[in-house]
Structure 1
Amino acid sequence: MNKIMLWNIRSIQNKKSELNYLIYKEQPEIIGICETWLKGKDKFSIPNYQILRKDRIEHTGGGLAFCIKNDIQFRPIILSDRYRNRIETSGIMINYKNKWLNVLLMYNPCNNLNTEEIDYYINQIGDPKIIIGDFNAHHICWNPKLNAKLANKTGKSIFEIINQNNIIVLTPPGLTTRIDPQSAKGTTIDLVLATPSLAHFEVETGPNLGSDHFPIIIKDNNHTKDILSKEKKWRYTEEGWNRFQKELTDKDLDNITSLNELIDLLKDTGLKCFKFENNINKNKPNKPWWNERCKEIVKLRNRAFNKWRKKPNKENQIDYKILVIKTRQIIERKENRGKNFVQH
């Protein structure tokens, strides 16, 4: 497993193209989605992924979903749901290095949660564990610029839990995960917690995609190192073979006195005539509908976003929102003419 992704999407239905682009760009094996806003009658699927949904039954909004790539072995975790009216949760176990890794997805709809409520769910899953979600928790531990007096009850509860349990915060301090739609101020409320054995996981934000939350990308650095350390494969071509044979013909092979000398000669000659295959993201799907118009409108949207963040006045906010809508319309129009990765 290389990547887990977390995103408070605030409605899957109106961000299908953005999710499509994110999957294409990041190629995550596991996606945890908060605020799907899906109801039982709504259809949602992603090619090459299995979907595990937990829709909010009462009231609008909310809802969770796990999207698990087809080649990942997993099992749902059946959670006792005592506080379902206070916090939304879903869990899975995935095969990670021939062991079960427990993944807990949580969404707190701005309730003031105490330690008992959060611990109730964390204690239901075994180690190793990774806990991801939008906690709406404010604390200087992960948001150092926050006025300590503004730490809320949920933030204090999570801080107490990590101090009393074998859990660490993987989210880098000060990593902005949400932008307030009115003030453009950044906060850190989408968190990644884990047992210390997963300290090698790296957490960063993905691109701005029109939601008030940034996607959170969780990378397994050990997996990347394993890929890079694997022996590279030669990429053979007819032209390369012809050159390889000519190079060897011109060498004085009679003066070679050992096997190591012969191996070195063959390797050095091969480096001149052939290239290595790059196996990373080799199976990344093509996206022929993504053209210069798509790239340009995304650049304009991001430029408007940065301008609004620097000067959060009404004019810049309106300009940004207009470009968010225009970007979505252009991308959806282009995508509908090509191959859809997210089906509905």
Structure 2
Amino acid sequence: MTRIPVQQFPKCEIVGFTITFSIKTKIDVYSIYCPDGNESILNLLHYLSKRRNHCIIGGDFNGHSPRWSNSHLSNKIGREISSFLTNSDNLTLLTPKNFPTRIDPVTRKKSTLDLTIMSSQLAHSTSIKLGPHLGSDHLPIIFKLQTKEKIIKQKIQPKWKYKEKEWPKWNESITRKLSEKKFIESENPQEAFNIFHESVLESSKETFILNTEVRCSKNINKPWWNEECSKKIAEYRRAWKKYTKWPTPENRTEYNRAMALKKKTIREAEKKRLG
């Protein structure tokens, strides 16, 4: 993944990076924030459409258009994006209509402010859905791209998991195998090496476990994370779901309390770890 040096535009924030799937396949990904829906972003849209690689554009555009939502009247950014996509041959809107990416925490009104735009060649094999509530009034967007290209991955060297009590068993096994294959009687160096190598591997497979699994902790960059943090996150999400389903004053109070406790617990855990 390589960061893209992108041109900056007034009234917008934009960052980008390139994902390499193979030597021939690269996808540029952009994240955009436009705080004012009445500002023009035509120059930005034309700039992105001229990129050589396939691209995925995700952003909080604060744009309204009947093309993706019936909840608000159109504004300038909404009209510009809608018109641009209508006339574009290589970019299309992946966001389905009335896709509620934001829920107002006070009024509970839903709106589609976050859009996903991508190359037409990618859109037909891409699915999209809303993710779980993570604390923001905007919901995360998850899209899955089906590609025939293999993503370049780093090869991990397999490792044996040894147990001290199993070594006698391993010694017996390799002694037996070397004897059965007449290792001592072999006069050819290459043949002797092959016999020894095969015997070691066979005995090891019979006795020990070859670990090829690679595990990555979700909190690998947060050594201060503990069970209490996870507990408060779970309580917070339950309160959010309850309030979303039944937006009563009592449930809102419970939600606010859970959010405050979550923040306090995480802050204290981090502070305690860092001393």
Using the size of structure 2 for normalisation, the TM-score is: 0.68
Q: Percent identity?
A: 28
1:89/1:104 contact within 8 Å kept: no
1:287 shift after superposition: 3.6
C-alpha separation in 1, matches of 2:4 and 2:150 = 27
The equivalences for 1:1-344 within 5 A come to 1=1, 73-79=2-8, 81=9, 84-85=10-11, 88-94=12-18, 96=20, 97=22, 101-112=27-38, 116=42, 119-123=45-49, 125-138=51-64, 146-147=69-70, 150=72, 152-153=74-75, 154-163=77-86, 164-171=88-95, 176-199=100-123, 205-217=130-142, 226=151, 233-239=158-164, 243-247=169-173, 254=181, 270=205, 273-279=208-214, 281=216, 285=220, 287-339=222-274
Residues paired across the two proteins, number? 258
**Which has the larger displacement, 155-164 or 297-306?**
155-164
**Structure 1 residue 210 displacement after superposition:** 2.2
Distance 1:188 1:296 in 2: 31
Deviation at 1:311, TM superposition (A): 0.9
1:6 corresponding residue in structure 2: none
CA distance in 2, matches of 1:268, 1:243: 9
Q: Are the aligned partners of 1:176 and 1:188 in contact in 2 as well (CA < 8 Å)?
A: yes
In 1: Cα distance, 2:268 partner to 2:142 partner: 27
Partners of 1:286 and 1:91 lie apart in 2 by 22
Q: Secondary structure at the match of 2:213?
A: coil
Name the Cα RMSD after superposition: 4.5
Deviation per CA, 1:96-120, whole angstroms, max 9, x where unpaired? 3457654433223252466845534
Give, in angstroms, the shift of residue 224 of structure 1. Answer: 11
Contact 1:78 1:91 in 2 (8 A): no
Q: Distance in 1 between matches of 2:242 and 2:232?
A: 15
Uncovered stretches (5+) of structure 2, i.e. residues with no partner: 183-193
**C-alpha distance 195-271 of structure 1, shift in aligned 2 (>3 A):** farther
Task: Please list the CA deviations of residues 76-131 of structure 1 after superposition, one character each: whole Å capped at 9, or x if unmatched.
Answer: 2224x3xx24xx13244536345765443322325246684553443464432221
How far apart, in 2, do the equivalents of 1:173 and 1:186 lie?
12
Q: Distance in 2 between matches of 1:151 and 1:336?
A: 46
Distance 1:282 1:303 in 2: 23
In structure 2, the CA distance between the partners of 1:117 and 1:75, relative to structure 1 (3 Å rule), is closer
The amino acid that maps onto 1:77 is V
Q: Which amino acid aligns with 1:188?
A: T
Higher relative CO (Cα under 8 Å, sequence separation at least 6) belongs to: 1
TM-score by length of 1: 0.57
Gaps of 5+ in 1: 2-72
Q: 1:241 to 1:141 in 2, by over 3 A?
A: farther
Q: For the pair shown, which has the larger CA radius of gyration, 1 or 2?
A: 2
Distance of 2:74 and 2:90 partners within structure 1: 22
The answer as to whether partners of 1:131 and 1:192 remain within 8 angstroms in 2 is yes
Q: Which residue pairs with 2:189 in the alignment?
A: none
Return the alpha-carbon distance in structure 2 between the equivalents of residues 283 and 318 of structure 1.
30
8 Å CA contact 2:49, 2:91 repeated in 1: no
Structure 1 SS opposite 2:135: coil
- For the 8 Å contact 2:85–2:91, the answer to whether it is kept is yes
Q: 2 CA distance for matches of 1:191 and 1:267? A: 56
